[in-house]
Every structure is written in C-alpha cells, then in structure tokens.
Amino acid sequence: MSTMQDVARRAGVSVSTVSYALSGARPVSAPTKARVEQAMSELGFRPNAFARGLASRRSRTIALIFPATEAGISGTVAEFVSSAAGTARSHGYHLVLWPFAAHEAEEIRDLVHQGMADGVLLMEVCLQDDRVEALHAAGVPFTMIGRTEHVEGLTFVDIDFDATVRQAVAHLVDLGHRRIGFLNHSATSHAAGYAPTLRAERAFGEAMRERGLEAHAVLCDENPAAGRRAMTELLERDPAMTAVLTMNEMATFGAAVELQARGLRVPADVSVLSIATSPGVGALSNPPLTTMHAPGSELGRLAVLSLIHLIEEPDGHPPEPSLLVCDLEPGGTTAPPP
C-alpha cells in the first residue's frame, strides 16, 4: 500500500507539500499540484478520511447522540447502529457515539461547532426536545430518529407507531382476543415526553376503544423484574386477560416468566406480542416471540443518507421524512384465546 512518502518521492516534492496539496492548508502551485495528483494516480494512493476532511474543511464524522441508560443498548438499537455505521462508512464517513443526555443540548452544539462532527443523528427524541431547538437554531445539520410534536422544517426517520400498534391490536383481535393488556416503556420516559411511549399509549387506547374494548395499559422500567411486576398489575386489573401487547424488550421476558410462574401457558392461555423489536431478540425466548419487527436496519440507512444530504447539499431541498411500519414476524407466542 502506497504512503504519502511514496507520493512525495514520485512527484519530487516534500511530504509537507503533498499534505498541503491534499488539505489546501497552504497554497500549492498548479503544476506542483498536478504532479502530486499524477503521482497519486500512478501509485493508486487513496487519501484517508482525515486528509479528505482537511481538504473539504469537514471532519468526515457523523455523531450519533444516544443518551446513556442503565438498560444499555438493546438488540433493536444495535441493529440500527450497525446499519448506520455501515452506510456512513460506504459514503466516506465515520460514525461515532456521543452519549449525551437530553438536557445537554448546548454541549452537543458546541462540539459540532468545534469541528468534531459534520452533523448529528439524534436518537431518543421527545415530543418537546431542547436538543432539537438548539441544533436547529445553531444551523447544525441533523436528522432525528424519531420526531418531535411539531416537525415542520425538520428532517426525520421514524417508526409509524400509530399504524404499528393498530396492526398489532388488529392481529390479536382477529385471533379472537377481546381482553388485551399493554406493557409500555417506563414512567420516567412518559414523564420526559419520550415520543414512542406517548404515541404508542395513545394508539393502543384509540384502537381498543374503537372496537368497544377496555384498554389496560401499564408503564414499566426496562428490566425483567419490572416486567414481572407489570404483568402482575395487568392481571390484577383484568384476571381474565388473554393477550398482552408489549413495547419493552427486556421487560417482555420478565412478563413471560411471571405468566409461567402463575401456571399460565404461552400462548395457550395468554398470547404475547412484542412490538418494535427484532426477530433476533424474539428468538431468545421459548417459544420464540411473535414480534412486530422494528425496521432498525432501514431506519439506520435512511437516517444516514438524509444527514449526508443535509451536510453535502446545505442549499438543496431537504430529504423527505420517512415513516416505517413494523412488520409482523410470526413466532410461537400468539394463538386464539382458550
């Protein structure tokens, strides 16, 4: 593999001159620059991302803002991150993870202004989000994975939680279920205005009421022990419940354990349908979970492409927003009620 030193020797110039020709940090005469470019072509030399960034005054880095949580990164989020990183790499960018909390909007903005990243992918978006306001006001290119309550003039990719939850309820009702509970994300996320928690809660209530059914929903922390407690609460509210819809990966496993501890068989006695999750996560249970597959890979790809468009074409038309519905992935945890 050729190096910058090889290019300098072939062009008959110093290494610093090659660097200046790549970065534009100092003027280089047209004939000298032409010799450098010819030497690079003959040697098959490819400047690395850092050198390309110097030439374009860009870092060639995209920052993924993901607030650190005790639950860590779920399998579904990992699917998104892997896709986003691969898409960024294929377009000459690096993806870095910045674990900033939702209230650290100014710190995020300052790092971008210091040239640490060319743009931001913003995860865990709330309906009212200070980070969005700060980035938008500062003119920093960013794409939301999720969306605020008002999205005019903003770029985002997101799951269509309304359509997804309605399809999940329809699947259970079509099987014959009429007494359905919903295990949602945590009370903390609800109080913070976390958009998926609120949108899913509203969609579940509406879908059940439209069918003349009673909606029992509980909020639950992101761990199996909390899932057991939440399942207990749902059964106390409706001991005749025959199905539970969950949107909380780790808690879903605890809910299944609680059902088994009570002598209730899944799915013969109680069906379990997990939404916004992945078949890979669902395969960890026995029987494998029936899931509404979160399109993490596609969301990651679309989010990065949208952000790169904003970075490289700042005066162009912004990308169209994308709303994706989770697809039903049959497993072994849904069946007609007893």
- The domain segmentation of the chain, as residue ranges, is 4-56, 61-159+296-324, 161-294
CATH code of 4-56, in short, is 1.10.260.40
What are the pLDDT digits (tens) for 264-302? Answer: 999 999 999 999 987 777 888 889 999 999 898 999 999
Report the top-level CATH class of 161-294: alpha beta
Pure H helices in 57-144:
75-90, 105-113, 130-138
Which CATH number is correct for 61-159+296-324, 3.30.420.40, 3.30.390.50, 3.40.50.300, 3.40.50.2300? 3.40.50.2300
% of the chain surpassing 70 pLDDT:
90
291: β partners = 274, 329
Would the CATH topology of 61-159+296-324 be identical to that of 161-294?
Answer: yes
* Orientation angle between helical segments 15-23 and 30-43, nearest 10 degrees: 100
Mean pLDDT for 162-191 is: 97
Contacts for 192 with CB less than 8 Å, ≥ 6 apart: 102, 126
Mean model confidence pLDDT for the chain: 88
Residue 58 has pLDDT above 80, yes or no: no
| Maximum mean pLDDT: which of 14-23, 96-105, 114-123 | 114-123
Mean pLDDT for 31-43 is: 89
Residue 30 main-chain phi, psi, to 5 deg = -60, -45
Half-sphere exposure of 166 (CA within 13 A, CB side): 14
The model's pTM is 0.78
Q: What are 138's two structure tokens?
A: 């500062």
Mean pLDDT for 155-164 is: 95
Mean pLDDT for 228-254 is: 96
